[in-house]
Chains A and B, each alone.
Chain A
Amino acid sequence: MTMTESVAAQPITRLLVANRGEIARRVIRTCDELGIETVAVFSEPDRGAPYVDEATVAVALRGRTSAESYLDVEQVLEAARRSGADAIHPGYGFLSENADFAQAVTDAGLVWVGPTPSAMRAMALKVEAKRIAAAAGVPLVPGAELDGDVTEPDLLTTGEKVGYPLLVKASAGGGGKGMRIVRTSDALAEAVTGARREAAASFGDPTVFLERYVERARHVEVQVFGDSHGAVVHLFERECSIQRRHQKIVEESPSPGATGSVLARMYAAATTLAAAIGYVGAGTVEFLVAGDGAAQEFFFLEMNTRLQVEHPVTEMVTGLDLVAWQLEVSQGGRLPLQQMEIQRSGHAIEVRLYAEDPARDFLPSTGTVATFDEWCIDDADVRIDSGVAAGSAVSPFYDPMLAKVIARGESRAAAAASLGSALARLRINGVTTNIDSLIAILRSPGFGEGTTTTSFLSDHPELLLGTLVPAEVRRLHLVTCAVALLEPEPLHGQAVPMTRGWRNVGGVPELVSVRYRDGADDVETTLGRSWGRGGATYWIALDTDGPVTAAQTLATDPRFERISARLESEDRWPSPEVRPARLEIDGVRQAVGCGVGDDHPGASDRAITGAAPVPGRSVVVESHGVRARYDVVTPWAGSGHAAAAGAPSTPVPGTVTHVAVLVGDVVEAGAALVVLEAMKMEHTIRADTAATVSAIHVTTGQSVEAHTIVATLTPTLDS
């Protein structure tokens, strides 16, 4: 097989980016440099996103969900017509691997920045891709196709043949969606059902297949490029072994684990495969690498027919612009360099910054990004590809990736140190992110040694909790919080500053309660301040297990420590941004960073239950290389709303995809009640006790807010 379709030599003058977020900005940046005008498309929730403003022209799409907007082929083509675009770049995800869309773009007389529809089709179905790979002599992982109507006994037989542990994967999918690990045969049937449902919802195709799960393997992929003149080159490899929920979060080049001989064979296999399907444009051939040294072997996984999320890693070590290459070959041009001319130098590492909570099973976090200060990172060897800015909304409708941060260094250690330091300086507030976890990964001994397999995070679950805070640092943070929250300042815009917390009758400290994260746990504690003529006295406790309201008991409560402290800052105080300040405790002064904001959903959630007049404030404190957030909680949180407590509710906003029970059903503890899709992930809401379902409050297809009660359960009483 060689070239089956030719690409017309057609210059691009105005390019529509059929995507959103950071990749849209990335494509626009290169177009700007090349003098190509750009067209952005945006859904309703993305109206204020940075990429929309950065494009020459922007066209609104109807709808909020991906399916209603970015996946709607007709709307995107209509936008191209209306804006006068002569080319479409699909980015990654969305329509990037949709061959029918590529065909429609070409049929509309537009340039498609991507491989030919036939090459896409060849690789799109993983089963088909493997056949071609096998024919090209590329080693494969044991696997099996599944018919839609396979019986359970047949399914189990197939499972045994593939071998456990195994993966159930969507044939049309990617990015971990619809994927499940099965370790024993008894869990196979449910996993297949769930994967089919998720695959159907995400890709419109419920076909799934089984594949051996090669544990403690490395995920290594080769970047390839082809042009319409028959040339194919590789741009070396990227290792992307560190994954969460089968989604990459750390990527680097070169691979710290693959041996030279395996790499050489992988480059050859990748280019052979690309050439075999007449590949034009950027593509990535993914492999699993197992074992070490001479015994190391590799298996073909799949080929992605698009630009990868992690392409900047390759750009950083090769000094090339992959988007520029894509544009060049899609206009019929030749690859700018031949294989021999492509050089790599140094080491680059990329991390993906997500709005999610790693310590809570990666629960997505939505809300408004209050602070996003990229300018804090002023380093030529650090690159940030971000899709958000301060004020951006993180909606539940799309992937929660906020940005990619990439650092290059002469060595792997230098790159990791530089990236860790950049992340520590990046100020982001408003949504929960995985940034602390990323820093912990980069600074962990295991990462430094390069023993990074796909099991890295399950082997080191403590890294998901971020950096553990020693008690002494925590104490310092709490003192900073107490001063920041109870410090004198004008109240309610009154022109006359009242003396903050002033009392003419003493003995009753003013209290404020805060909640902070300690690993995976939420800790609540109360801080106190006693007004004093010579300066305030603060009361600190590391944990009071909920707000303390009996203010007069602090002096005799052994949990509380009495501290005299002052906090000074050159800046206007308090500020929502983290600013340098000096904390003086009992005469000892040290530097801290402190910001006081009103913007944290964690705090306002609790505040909604009654504290409308009390700002839902939070404090971010940095010291000793540790940054932590402290949200104000009100002592009356939850009271008066007891009726809602304990009822099964949605953890995040999303769409109900399945209601598993009927009114009157008797369910065991742990039984699935409702399945919710949010952020492209399935969340199963389960019964917390054995109960009878007395009411169901949601229906399939319904969009629900977070904390929506899905059903009313009457607990089954033991007689």
Chain B
Amino acid sequence: MARIVSRLDVGGPGYAASRGAMLTSLGEIDGLLAAVVGGGGSGGTNLAKDAASVAKLRSRGKLMPRERIGLLLDRGSAFLELSPLAGWGTDDPLGGGLVTGIGTISGVQCVISANDPTVKGGAQGQTSVAKGLRAMEIARVNRLPLISLTESAGADLPKQAEIFVPGGASFKNLTRLSALGIPTITLVFGSSTAGGAYVPGMSDYVVLQKDSARVYLGGPPLVKMAIDEDADEESLGGAEMHARVSGLADYLAADEPDALRIGREIVGHLNWRRQGPGPTRASVPPAYDEDELLGIASADVRVPFEVREVIARIVDGSEFEEFKPLYGTTLVTGWAHLGGHPVGILANNGILFSEEAEKGAQFIQLCERHEVPILFVQNITGFMVGTRYEQGGIIKDGAKLINAVSNSTVPHLTLMVGASYGAGNYGMSGRSYDPRFVFTWPNHRIAVMGPKQLGGVLEIVARQRTEAAGQAFDSAAFAPMREAFESQVEAQSTALYATGRLWDDGIIDPRDTRTVLDLALQAIHSATVQGSNSYGVFRM
């Protein structure tokens, strides 16, 4: 396999500018992440209130969710936190008051989901529900045990209308995971009431913390209202009661560390066996410095860059066996290893033509046959338009690619390193095509098309309508409207906007790309890797 020869000019002005812009973006993201980790839920906008929430938690001797996760994980385990900035740009607290991620417990790679009790008491809003459902989906498709660290005030009542119906799927998902043989373990540290009571209720294993866990359908006020009974919290849903009387608890934990200890022991006895193949060779670092990933992609997604420079800095030994290098050259396809796992890679160098679509469809079929996971690296401004291309059948060819992607059964990983415009997003296994994971660089932009093009299209349509009515189109008068629209599209196509709405599984530092994909590949291989085999490979 040939090593990619890098032609990146690390001394050039373009590199320095891109790197500077990337570091600025990362600085902004780091600030947001620090606010999420700090707790409280204001996203850094109300530090005094956040500090008060955290102080209240500390005063009760309780731990922050990431501290709980730290005790649960094996010493030295990595923790890949998912969608930490979910909720950005929405009414919901940044991060959604829920921490989700992948880490190793007692030697078993698991999905972990933990409420942040300092954020609205762990109450669930739209973002929390979406994030929780996504964590369950990741557990299901990758066959990873799910551990929930629960301390939640239940539904965020002012937002009940937004979450009541979709939120119900959580309980269904838990039992479906169980039916699939994927263990579900819930450790309850505090309140887990009303609908929340079904989280322990539907789990395979339930650990309740003594003197702290409260699990009931209705608390004292509701019970008083409903049946005029005076009941105390311990009798209704205390940990001791559930451990000794109702039997809801399988284990009674003395304190938080004890609950986490029990959680570790449960995972330890699951007799868990990974079903996917392990790495086929030793992991070798890339030949080029991962730090240089900062300066490859411009902050302006309209500036093209060579995607092989990205591949060279994420795959083992920078070695890449390119498939059809001379045909359909704006789509780079080929074979590599990442963390010792074989991967097939489809990576864009800009726009897709018919040749690229057919090449991609053919390559995906080969990955299916070889049962090799596929990494899609998206930097795509869309499918080519124009008479020549329409007449050349670009819809048919694009359909072949989308067909191949849609019906591919090997796991997909999607990495957003620049633009993701138009149907190219679909052809390259965008979020709605169910890749196992989607990770995004900070410079990423996603929309039906670029803001400038959309603004131009809007103006042309307006001009045509005006002129059809026999009036003169005043371009200058239309300009503010066009600018407003363009900036709205720009704002709605940023990486933060996308991650805020869970269109990805998180924005990552480009320097972490290889590590993140390595961990994701490990997660994928907890389940079998199986290709579809209805036809032979179509040569296109």
Contacts and interface: CB of A to CB of B under 8 A. Distances in A.
Interface string A495-506: 111111111111
Contacts of A498: 76-78, 104, 518-519, 522
Contacts of B506: 504
Nearest to B79: A503
A249 to B, nearest CB: 39
Nearest to A487: B76
B76 A486 contact: yes
Nearest to B67: A551
Interface residues of B, number: 54
A496 B523 CA distance: 12
Given A506-B33, A639-B261, A550 B64 contact: yes
A613 B110 CA distance: 15
B258 A610 contact: yes
B364 interface: no
A373 B475 CA distance: 90
Interface string A476-508: 000000000110110110111111111111111
A497 B77 CA distance: 10
B107 A504 contact: no
A238 B258 CA distance: 56
B505 to A, nearest CB: 11
Specify the main secondary structure of chain A where it touches its partner: loop
Interface in B51-92: 58, 63-64, 66-67, 70-71, 74-81, 84
B405 interface: no
A636 B265 contact: no
A636 B260 contact: yes
B58 A492 contact: no
A499 B107 CA distance: 15
A715 B38 CA distance: 45
Contacts of B257: 549, 634-636, 639
A82 interface: no
Contacts of A634: 257, 261
A640 interface: yes
A492 B75 contact: no
B265 A612 contact: yes
B445 interface: no
B278 interface: yes
A533 B512 CA distance: 9
A553 to B, nearest CB: 8
Given A508-B67, A639-B258, A491 B76 contact: yes
B254 A495 contact: no
B268 A497 contact: no
Given A501-B76, A504-B509, A551 B66 contact: yes
Nearest to B507: A504
A711 interface: no
A510 B264 contact: no
B200 interface: no
A231 interface: no
Interface in A519-570: 533, 549-553
B260 A492 contact: no
Contacts of A552: 37-38, 64, 66-67
B76 A505 contact: no
Q: Which of A510, A551, A613, A635 has the most chain B CB atoms closer than 10 A to its own CB?
A: A613
B516 interface: yes
Interface string B20-43: 000000000010011011100000
B508 interface: yes
A380 interface: no
A468 interface: no
B265 A496 contact: no
B451 interface: no
Interface in B160-182: none
Nearest to B340: A496
Contacts of A393: none
A514 to B, nearest CB: 12
Contacts of B30: 506
Given A510-B70, A640-B261, A491 B104 contact: yes
Interface in B300-355: 339-341
B74 A492 contact: yes
Nearest to A614: B75
Contacts of B490: none
A403 B394 CA distance: 86
Interface in B480-512: 506, 508-509, 511-512
Nearest to A500: B76
Contacts of B66: 505, 507-508, 551-552
A512 to B, nearest CB: 6
Contacts of A486: 75-76
Contacts of B106: 613
A507 B37 contact: yes
A511 B257 CA distance: 13
A505 B67 contact: no
A500 B515 CA distance: 11
B282 interface: yes
A12 B348 CA distance: 91
Nearest to B521: A496
Contacts of A717: none
Contacts of B362: none
A612 B268 contact: yes
A33 B260 CA distance: 61
B253 interface: yes
B74 A502 contact: no
A618 to B, nearest CB: 14
A640 B80 contact: no
A141 interface: no
Contacts of A550: 58, 63-64, 67
B234 interface: no
Contact of B75 (A496, A510, A612): A510
Interface in B89-111: 104, 106-107
A162 interface: no
B92 to A, nearest CB: 18
Contact of B37 (A488, A506, A610, A639): A506
Contacts of A496: 279, 283, 339-341, 518, 522
B261 A636 contact: yes
Contacts of A491: 74, 76-77, 104, 107
Contacts of B522: 494, 496, 498
B256 interface: yes
B258 A488 contact: no
B255 interface: yes
Contacts of B77: 491, 498, 501
A508 B518 CA distance: 22
Contacts of B509: 504
A150 interface: no
A229 B384 CA distance: 117
A642 interface: yes
A611 interface: yes
Contact of A549 (B75, B256, B278, B279): B256
Contacts of B508: 504
B98 to A, nearest CB: 13
A508 B37 contact: yes
Contacts of A636: 71, 255, 257-258, 260-261
A508 B63 CA distance: 12
Contacts of B67: 508, 549-552
Given A491-B107, A612-B265, 4 more contacts: A501-B76, A503-B79, A552-B38, A610-B261
Interface of B: 30, 33-34, 36-38, 58, 63-64, 66-67, 70-71, 74-81, 84, 104, 106-107, 253-258, 260-262, 264-265, 268, 278-279, 282-283, 339-341, 506, 508-509, 511-512, 515-516, 518-519, 522
Interface of A: 485-486, 488-489, 491-492, 494-508, 510-512, 533, 549-553, 610-614, 634-636, 639-640, 642
8 contacts: A486-B76, A492-B74, A504-B508, A505-B66, A505-B84, A507-B34, A550-B67, A551-B67
Q: Which are the 4 A-B pairs with shortest beta-carbon distances? A: A636-B257, A502-B78, A639-B258, A492-B107
